[in-house]
Structure 1
Amino acid sequence: MEIKYKLYPYPVLSPYSNDYKEGIFQPTIDIVRDGYNLRIDFVASLTSKSLLECIRTGVAKYVYHIECAQTGFRTVVQTDKVSEVYTLLSKSVNGKLQICSFVVAVKDITGYSSPEFHDDYKGRSFDIEAGCVMAVGKMYTVDITKDIDDLANTPSIFNITRNPDPSCKQMLVDMSQRKIIIKLPMNDFYSYKALSTTPQAQAILNSLTVVPALVYVLEELRAMSPQERSENSDTLWYKVLSKALLTQFDCDIEDEAFDTLNFMILAQKLINDPLSDAFAFMTSSFGVAGGDE
């Protein structure tokens, strides 16, 4: 969505018109990496007293329209707060990301007028319907480059195998090999193998196997001294894991700060947060309602 130099039948505060003789609307938008995802920080800078009063009384809100044409992703963030944070899943975007900022009426406003209007509108009032734009900020455009480490790709450092011991009914994890070996009981392994042919089921499989296996590996590493951890440096899984932690999470696996991390949260982030996709697939498959209440 690109902001056009649109004319409105009522005064709108914008950088390309003089409908208001006073006031500016120019939000600051910062995008920072949060693991594999992106955190968008919005800080609204609005100096129009009339529009600020509309937001204060709940008849208008700040609205940020986020769109990625390449992936077809689009969403709207609506808030009455000066500062707002939105987490954008990296799998949702690729290439050019556009963010447009507005102040939008969320309720009908009867007889809206302002001493900040240009003299051409002096003494006039306007009926603003809910959904109408009242202020427009400059469009923010950024190129999102995919830089997802192979850790989110299951075959990279994990190997799902059948446990040859028929008496074992639990999943086991072996981190002594080049890859992390996840051993499943025979029946579970063949169930996994059958489900793995369905791409939509991958999030469920990752949640059931890879995430708990990764939590186990991270906990085992925490129990080691930094020097003991480095003894795994010849293995593929350790190289990929340490690189992902350093580049995506700014964490050195051989630093003491590693011990303070929440490994349940970290494991999910390292595998690109599969839980939401897993629940979405299951609710759609079983025909039950999900999402927001």
Structure 2
Amino acid sequence: MEIKYKLYPYPVLSSYSDDYTAGSFDVSIDVVRDGYDLRVNFLTMLNCDSLQDCISQGTAKFVYHLECAQTGFRTVVQTDKVNHVYTLSNKVVNGKLQICSFIVATDDLKGYASSDFHEDYQGGTFDIEAGCVLAVGKMVKVDISKDTDDLANTPSIFNIIKNSDESCKQMLVDMSQRKIIIKLPLSDFYSYKVLSSTPSTFSILNSLTVLPALVYVLEELKGLSIQDRSESSDTLWYKVLSNTLLTQFDCNIESEEFNNQNCLVLAQKLINNPVADSFTFLTSSFGVAGGDEL
């Protein structure tokens, strides 16, 4: 969404108009990585008593419009706080993320006036409907680059194969190879192959295979001394896993602090929370409303 220079039938506070001779509205926007997600920090600087009164009285809010043209993502964030944090899933954005800032009326304003109006408007009042823009801030463009070694990309460090031992009916994990080998019983493997041809099932398949395998590997590493962990450093899976933990989650696999990690929680974060996506897919597929308390 590009902010266009626009004329309104009432005064609007902006950098490109003189509707207000005094006052200012600006927003500092900082986007930082939070694992695979993005944390957008908003800090609003509003110098206008009349608009500040609207915010305090609940008749207006700070509104941030986020849009990514490449993915088609679009959302609106509303708040009455000058400091606000919004967590954005890395799955929904790629390339350029545009963020526009506004103050918007949330209730009808009857007889709105401001001492900061231009002299042409002094002494006048305006009836402004809910949803109308009261102030326009700057637009910020953020470059969103994605890590090609994202562990949610299953082929990166996992290899799912059939177990040649037909007597084994359980999934097994082998972490002694270049990649982490997930061995499935024969019938499960062929079921996996059929389902993996449908992209919408990926989150379910990852929940059934990759997630428990990753929990197993993390628990095994926790049980080793730091020196013994580094003995796997020549394998692809260890390089990718340790690099992702360090760069995305500030977690050093070769430190004592790693022993305090909850492996189940960490594994879900590493592969972009497939359990949540699985429940979303299943509830939508079967027409069931999710989120209700039993």
| Residues 1:51 and 2:51 are matched in the alignment | yes
| Residues 1:207 and 2:207 are matched in the alignment | yes
Helix, strand or coil at the partner of 2:156? coil
CA contact (8 A) 2:207 2:278 kept: yes
Unaligned runs of 5+ in 2: none
| Residues 1:22 and 2:22 are matched in the alignment | yes
Provide the C-alpha distance between the structure 1 equivalents of 2:70 and 2:47, rounded to a whole number of angstroms.
Answer: 35
Per-residue Cα deviation, 1:102-154 (whole angstroms, up to 9, x for no partner): 01111111111111212111111111111100111111112212224142211
Match of 2:232 in 1: 232
Provide the C-alpha distance between the structure 2 equivalents of 1:230 and 1:152, rounded to a whole number of angstroms.
Answer: 23
Within 5 Å, give how 1:266-277 maps onto structure 2: 266-277=266-277
Match of 2:94 in 1: 94
CA contact (8 A) 1:36 1:148 kept: no
Once the two structures are TM-superposed, the CA of residue 213 in structure 1 deviates from its matched residue by: 1.4
Match of 1:176 in 2: 176
Provide the C-alpha distance between the structure 2 equivalents of 1:141 and 1:114, rounded to a whole number of angstroms.
Answer: 32
Helix, strand or coil at the partner of 1:62? strand
Match of 2:110 in 1: 110
- AA of the residue aligned to 1:182: I
Unaligned runs of 5+ in 1: none
- AA of the residue aligned to 1:234: D
| Residues 1:137 and 2:137 are matched in the alignment | yes
Once the two structures are TM-superposed, the CA of residue 292 in structure 1 deviates from its matched residue by: 9.4
Match of 2:288 in 1: 288
Helix, strand or coil at the partner of 1:61? strand
Once the two structures are TM-superposed, the CA of residue 274 in structure 1 deviates from its matched residue by: 2.2
Match of 1:260 in 2: 260
Per-residue Cα deviation, 1:231-263 (whole angstroms, up to 9, x for no partner): 111222111111212222233211222223332
Once the two structures are TM-superposed, the CA of residue 12 in structure 1 deviates from its matched residue by: 0.8
Match of 2:74 in 1: 74
Helix, strand or coil at the partner of 1:155? helix
Match of 1:4 in 2: 4
Provide the C-alpha distance between the structure 1 equivalents of 2:206 and 2:253, rounded to a whole number of angstroms.
Answer: 23
Q: Normalising to structure 2: TM-score of the pair? A: 0.93
| Pairs aligned (count) | 293
CA contact (8 A) 1:157 1:240 kept: yes
Provide the C-alpha distance between the structure 1 equivalents of 2:215 and 2:81, rounded to a whole number of angstroms.
Answer: 37
Structure 1 residues 150 and 96, CA, compared in 2 at 3 Å: closer, same or farther?
A: closer
Provide the C-alpha distance between the structure 2 equivalents of 1:45 and 1:193, rounded to a whole number of angstroms.
Answer: 55
CA contact (8 A) 2:149 2:156 kept: no
Helix, strand or coil at the partner of 2:155? coil
Q: Normalising to structure 1: TM-score of the pair? A: 0.93
Q: Which deviates further from its counterpart, 109-118 or 98-107?
A: 109-118
Once the two structures are TM-superposed, the CA of residue 19 in structure 1 deviates from its matched residue by: 1.3
CA contact (8 A) 1:61 1:80 kept: yes
Structure 1 residues 149 and 128, CA, compared in 2 at 3 Å: closer, same or farther?
A: same
- AA of the residue aligned to 2:121: Y
Provide the C-alpha distance between the structure 1 equivalents of 2:66 and 2:9, rounded to a whole number of angstroms.
Answer: 26
Helix, strand or coil at the partner of 1:231? helix
Helix, strand or coil at the partner of 2:221? helix
CA contact (8 A) 1:66 1:97 kept: yes
Provide the C-alpha distance between the structure 2 equivalents of 1:250 and 1:142, rounded to a whole number of angstroms.
Answer: 22
CA contact (8 A) 1:162 1:186 kept: yes
Provide the C-alpha distance between the structure 2 equivalents of 1:14 and 1:291, rounded to a whole number of angstroms.
Answer: 41
- Percent identity at matched positions? 72
Match of 1:221 in 2: 221
Provide the C-alpha distance between the structure 2 equivalents of 1:253 and 1:91, rounded to a whole number of angstroms.
Answer: 25
